[in-house]
Amino acid sequence: MILQKIWYNSIRLIVKTGLFFYTQKIRVSGTENIPKKGAILFCANHPDGLIDPLMITTNCPRESHYLVRAAAFNNPFVKKVLESLNLMPIYRMRDGINEVGKNKEIFENCFELFKKGETLLIYPEASHNRKRTIRPLSKGFTRIVFGALEKYPDLKISIIPVGLTYQNASYYPSKVAIKYGKPISAEDFYSSNNLPVSINNLKDEVSNQLKELSVHITDDENYSTILTQLNNLNVDFTDVDLVNNMIAKNSFTDKKKRKTTFLKPIYYLILLNSIFPVLIWKKIAKKIDEFEFVDTFRFALNLGLFPIFYSLQTWIVSLFFDWKIAISYLLISLLLILIYTKFSPTNTENEAYLQKLAKRFSPD
């Protein structure tokens, strides 16, 4: 148990360090809403693939367990690694009707986690999508909490909605807002005599909070127009309350000028200094068929390859000079990355950029 915690926290620290170099800024608010003890179900929106749980995990005071798509567990070695990091598979209809039956055992494991006073992270939208909207929630998360309450009637479970908003998903570097909502007592919504009503009421409560905790544009005929207006104003989407207020009042003013970067020379120095990881990324990027996984693969590649190549290059420099110069080279390399990451402008998506993405990731 102790070794597992050391392993989990070590990986968490490594990922947190990687995200520090990868993102310009991560705004975190509402952590005071998270109980220090007791069972919690975190319900988050899901705009950006597997980078989402990494963002939440590294910016949450509680250690959590996670439900992720079962396909990630196909490789036996990967399966063991994921399980050691508190991940559990969840099966969907697309995995096959026989596979969906395995969820019963997974749900039982979730009930026991709640019984022990632990936490679970789930995505009630049931899929990822980069649209700036909260989609209809599935009833899967209600089955988990209500199933736990049916098995353990005296159990107290807090449901905490988590809003994720990216300034410009899959663009490096980007800003992110993570907002934890107010705790919802699952037992206040549970009625075994009228379960359908209980499910709908809880879904509505979580959905309403998510629409306040992240930037939400109703997905109707006006969606594209509103999004274009916000992008043209170059708003800071991570200022969630301000942007949602603009949408609610239909008031799109106070245009901010698009910032130009004077850090391009540093950017090209970083590219030159990281030429081998960059070439590997260029090759891998062509095989990504879902926009929401661009950040996932790029961050994983950065986390895995950059330390290896920078260490190797530092060693090579030491062979030609000495270790003092080699360490200086390494520190300057890291400093250049930090300067570019933290001070580059994070503009919104312009129309040309959106059209380019639509063409790149079109199913056709």
Tens digits of residue pLDDT in 201-228: 999 999 999 999 999 999 999 999 999 8
- Bridge partners (DSSP) listed for residue 178: 28, 164
Q: Residue 328: what pLDDT?
A: 96
pLDDT interval class at 96 (50, 70, 90): low
pLDDT interval class at 351 (50, 70, 90): low
Q: Residue 80: what pLDDT?
A: 85
Q: Which two tokens stand for residue 215?
A: 């930037």
Domain residue limits, the chain: 2-213, 264-344
- In tens, the pLDDT along 20-76 reads 999 999 999 999 999 999 999 999 999 988 899 999 999 999 988 988 877 777 788
Burial string for 273-311 (b: 16+ CB within 10 Å, else e) reads bbeebbeebeeeeeebeebbbbbbbbbbbbbebbeebbe
Q: Give the chain's mean pLDDT.
A: 89
Q: Residue 87: what pLDDT?
A: 87
Cis peptide before 173 (omega within 30 of 0): yes
Query: Whole-model pTM?
Result: 0.91
pLDDT, mean of residues 298-304 = 91
Task: Say if residue 180's pLDDT is above 70.
Answer: yes
Task: Say if residue 266's pLDDT is above 90.
Answer: yes
Task: Say if residue 350's pLDDT is above 70.
Answer: no
What is the Cβ-side half-sphere exposure of residue 261, based on CA atoms within 13 angstroms? Answer: 16
Q: Which two tokens stand for residue 253?
A: 């003013």
pLDDT interval class at 332 (50, 70, 90): very high
Residue range 2-213, CATH number: 3.40.1130.10
pLDDT, mean of residues 265-270 = 92
Give helix then strand counts, H and E, for the chain: 15, 8
- Bridge partners (DSSP) listed for residue 68: 89
Task: Say if residue 318's pLDDT is above 70.
Answer: yes
pLDDT interval class at 352 (50, 70, 90): low
